Amino acid sequence: MTNNHDRSIAFVRTEDVPAAPPPPNAAGPTKWLKDNLFATIPNSILTIVALLVIYLILQGTLPWLLNGVWVSPSLSVCRDILDGATGACFAVLTERWNQLLFGFQYPADLYWRPGLAFILLFFAAAPVLFFDLPRKLLIFTALYPFIAFYLIWGGSILTPIVALVGVVAGAAVYQRYVKGSFALGFFAGIVAALIVWNLGGLIIPDEEITEGAMRSVASRDLGGFMLNMMLGVTCVSLSVPLGIALALGRQSSMPLIKYICVIFIEFIRGVPLITLLFVASVMLSYFFPPEATVDLFLRVVIMITMFSAAYIAEVIRGGLAALPKGQYEAGDSLGLDYAQSMRLIILPQALKISIPGIVNVAVGLFKDTTLVSVISMFDLVGMIRGPILASTDWQGIYWELFGFAALLFFVVCYGISQYSQWLERRLATDHR
Partner 1 sequence: MTSITDPPQGSFRPSMLINDTRYRSYTFQAIAFIVLAASIGYLLDNLFENLAAQGLEISFGFLAAPAGYDINQTLIEYTSQSSNLRAAVVGILNTLLVAVLACVTATVFGVLAGVLRLSNNWLVAKLMAIYVEIFRNIPVLIWILIIYGIMTIVLAAPRDFRGDDPAASMFLGLAAFTNRGVYIPLPQFTRGFGAAELGAIWDWLLVIALLIGSLIATRFVTARATRIQEATGIRPKTLMTNLAIWFAPLILTFLILGLTFEIPALRGFNFAGGIKIGAPLIAIWFALSIYTGAFIAENVRAGIQAVSKGQTEAAAALGIRPGRIMSLVILPQALRVIIPPLISNYLNITKNSSLAILVGYADVTATLGGITLNQTGRAIECVLLLMLFYLLISLLISAVINVYNNAIKLKER
Q: Of 26, 54, 139, 322, which one interacts with partner 1 (CB under 8 A)?
A: 54
Residue whose CB is less far from partner 1, 131 or 399: 399
Q: What is the SS3 assignment for 389? A: helix
Name the one range near partner 1 by CB under 8 A: 95-103, 125-133, 252-260, 419-427: 252-260
The β-bridge partners of 379 are 224
In 3D space, the residue among 95, 104, 105, 60 whose CA is nearest the CA of residue 75 turns out to be 95
Residue 328 is a binding residue for partner 1 (CB under 8 A): no
- 269 belongs to the binding site for partner 1 (CB under 8 A): yes
- Minimum CB separation of residue 284 from partner 1 in Å reads 10
DSSP 3-state of 15: coil
| 405 contacts partner 1 (rule: CB under 8 A) | yes
429-245-238-273 Cα dihedral, nearest 10 degrees: 100
* 378 vs 398: CA distance, rounded Å: 17
Considering only 80-88, 203-211, 303-311, 413-421, which stretch makes contact with partner 1 by CB under 8 A?
413-421
Q: Applying CB under 8 A, does 286 fall inside the site for partner 1?
A: yes
- Is 81 a binding residue for partner 1 by CB under 8 A? The answer is no
Report in angstroms how near the CB of residue 264 gets to partner 1 at its nearest.
11
Q: Are 222 and 297 in contact (CB under 8 A)?
A: yes
Please answer whether residues 196 and 166 qualify as being in contact, where contact means their C-beta atoms are separated by less than 8 angstroms: yes
Other residues' Cβ atoms within 10 Å of the Cβ of residue 106: 23
Instruction: Give the nearer residue to partner 1 in terms of CB position, either 218 or 413.
Output: 413
Q: According to the binding rule CB under 8 A, does residue 251 interact with partner 1? A: no
DSSP string, 58-116: HHHHHHHHHT-----SSHHHHHHHHTTS----THHHHHTHHHHHH-SSS-GGGTHHHHH
Say which DSSP state 136 is in.
Answer: G
The residue (of 120 and 184) whose beta carbon lies closer to partner 1 is 184
Using CA atoms, how far apart are residues 225 and 114, in angstroms rounded to an integer? Answer: 11
Closer by beta carbon to partner 1, 350 or else 381: 381
- Residue with Cβ nearer partner 1 (115 or 387): 387
305 counts as binding partner 1 under rule CB under 8 A: no
Least Å from the CB of residue 235 to partner 1: 15
User: Binding residues for partner 1, per CB under 8 A?
Assistant: 36-37, 39, 43, 46-47, 50-51, 53-54, 253-257, 260, 266-267, 269-275, 278-279, 282-283, 285-290, 363, 367-368, 370-371, 373-374, 381, 385, 398-399, 402, 405-406, 409-410, 413-414, 417
